[in-house]
Amino acid sequence: MNPETIVVIGAGLAAATLVSELRSRGYDGVLRLIGDEASLPYERPPLSKGYLQGSDTVEDFTVNTAAWYAENHVDLRLDTHAISIDRKHQHVVLADGTTLDYDALVLATGARSRLGGEEPMAGHDLPGVHTLRSLADADALKTEITQGKQVAVVGSGWIGMEVAASARSLGARVTVYSPDEVPLAKVFGERFGHHLLELHQGHGVDVRTGTRVQGIELADGHLQVISDIGSSRADVVLLAIGAVPNVELAETAGLDVDRGVVVDASLRSSDSKILAIGDVAQAFNTRLRRQLQVEHWDNAIRQGKLAAATLTGADQAYDWLPYFFTDQYDLGMEYVGDAAPGDETVLRGSENEFIIFWLREGRITAAANVNIWDVNDTLRGLVGRQIDSARLEDTAIELGDL
């Protein structure tokens, strides 16, 4: 596969990595990058952390400069989006009516913030109610989270807990509404989730576990968060209840779509001329032997590089384990693997510096290092191995000797 013209729809980290990798591999064909935001492609993790806190600038997490795109002959079109794909004639139509031909098309359309269940949550569009997915979202949130403000975070996943930590560091009062008994329960299970719960409570966050929010109202000039335990006032509300992959363009084009765009281990869709990468891709992982959809930084970079390999004829596959990281207060964590609810957990280390292993039938399914650095590659090598729990717990045994 060596297409003369490649069109990439979406201009997030996966897409920016793809075009960079294509040029570094020597691809010299026509390369067009279409993004619906006005800003240059950037990395999203700082939005809930350093950028929100004021320690990072946009330049710190912009992927490439405008000059780079010009010098590398990338036709970068921002603040626009594709409205249709004509697979028969191999072209896409943009919102302004422009038609772009392609030999290969890459969908990197990402995901948007979830606003509720089947219907958006009541009050999601009130002034002071926010989501966090884009730089514009972060800018809007940043202006409102200040010293003494009452911030309500609906949801206890990655973004919700990171924003809670950032808001506390800015001097805001924070309440988190969690439908689960511990934060990030679906990812980490009860043991590590309980550690996160205590961490936030120790920093003054009111975490209301097992609580569901029905809606948000405006009363006497103030926001009111309505939950199954009553009503509470807030100055700022963040809805952090998950993401919805932007699959509509693929669906309309007749591609195979499940929760995401279904692609094989080389990231090809049901149309071999169309690939999907990043948050929108539901890709076959050859190591785990199943379709997998991972919405995180590491996966965006790796799939961008893999798509470039596929487009330039290299024989590579989606074979790596999921990787996540988070920074909250003085806690820094890296996670690698694919744990499931019910997996056994084994702790190695002290209260504030430790490694946690997840095991299923004695085999390691995932591992996380918390405030211990330069060990994640070693942990990655341990995933899949069968190691006795007592050895995993024993800090007298070096990780490399397990």
Give the model's pLDDT for residue 389. 94
Kindly give the confidence (pLDDT) of every residue in the chain, 402 residues in length, as a single tens digit, with 9 standing for 90 and above. 789 999 999 999 999 999 999 999 999 999 999 999 999 999 999 999 999 999 999 999 999 999 999 999 999 999 999 999 999 999 999 999 999 999 999 999 999 999 998 899 999 999 999 999 999 999 999 999 999 999 999 999 999 999 999 999 999 999 999 999 999 888 888 888 999 999 999 999 999 999 999 999 998 889 999 999 999 999 999 999 999 999 999 999 999 999 999 999 999 999 999 999 999 999 999 999 999 999 999 999 999 999 999 999 999 999 999 999 999 999 999 999 999 888 999 999 988 899 999 999 999 999 999 999 999 999 999 999 999 999 999 999 999 899
Residues 141 and 226 in one domain: yes
Let me know whether 225 and 256 are in one domain. Answer: no
Range of the domain at 366: 330-401
pLDDT score recorded for residue 257: 98
First-to-last C-alpha distance (Å) of the chain = 43
The pLDDT value given to residue 83: 98
Which phi and psi (to 5°) does residue 232 adopt? -135, 140
Residue 16: inside a domain: yes
Question: Do residues 106 and 250 share a domain?
Answer: yes
Element (DSSP H or E) covering residue 197: helix 185-202
Residue 336 lies in a domain: yes
18 with 100, same domain: the answer is: yes
On whether both 382 and 305 belong to a single domain, the answer is: no
Residues 304, 252, single domain; the answer is: yes
Determine the pLDDT at residue 321: 96
Among residues 223, 239, 255, which one ends one of the domains? 239
In a domain, 117, yes or no: no
Domain of residue 135, CATH code = 3.50.50.60
Predicted confidence at residue 351, as pLDDT, reads: 82
Q: Same domain for 133 and 235?
A: yes
CA 347 centroid distance within chain? 26
> Domain boundary residue among 264, 284, 311?
311
**Statement to judge: residues 231 and 270 lie in one domain:** no
- pLDDT on residue 228: 93
Encode pLDDT of 189-226 as tens digits.
Answer: 888 899 999 999 999 999 999 999 999 999 888 999 99
Last residue of a domain, which of 187, 222, 239?
239
Residue 117: the pLDDT is 85
User: Has residue 320 been placed in a domain?
Assistant: no
Angle, vertex CA 355, rays to CA 304 and CA 336, nearest 5: 20
Whether 74 and 20 share a structural domain: yes
| Statement to judge: residues 33 and 67 lie in one domain | yes
Question: Do 141 and 223 reside in the same domain of the chain?
Answer: yes
Q: Are 31 and 54 in contact (CB under 8 A)?
A: no
Q: Does residue 323 form part of some domain?
A: no
**CATH code of the domain containing 374:** 3.30.390.30
Residue 145 lies in a domain: yes
Whether 250 and 301 map to the same domain: the answer is: yes
119 belongs to a structural domain: no
- pLDDT attached to residue 285: 96
Q: Is 269 inside a domain boundary?
A: yes
Q: Return the DSSP state at 41.
A: P
Model pTM? Answer: 0.95
Q: In what order do the strands lie in the sheet with 222-227?
A: 213-219, 222-227, 230-234
How far is the CA of 199 from the CAs of 80, 120, 331, 333, 339, in angstroms?
42, 31, 9, 13, 22
Tally of structural domains, the chain = 3
Residue type at 15 in one-letter notation: A
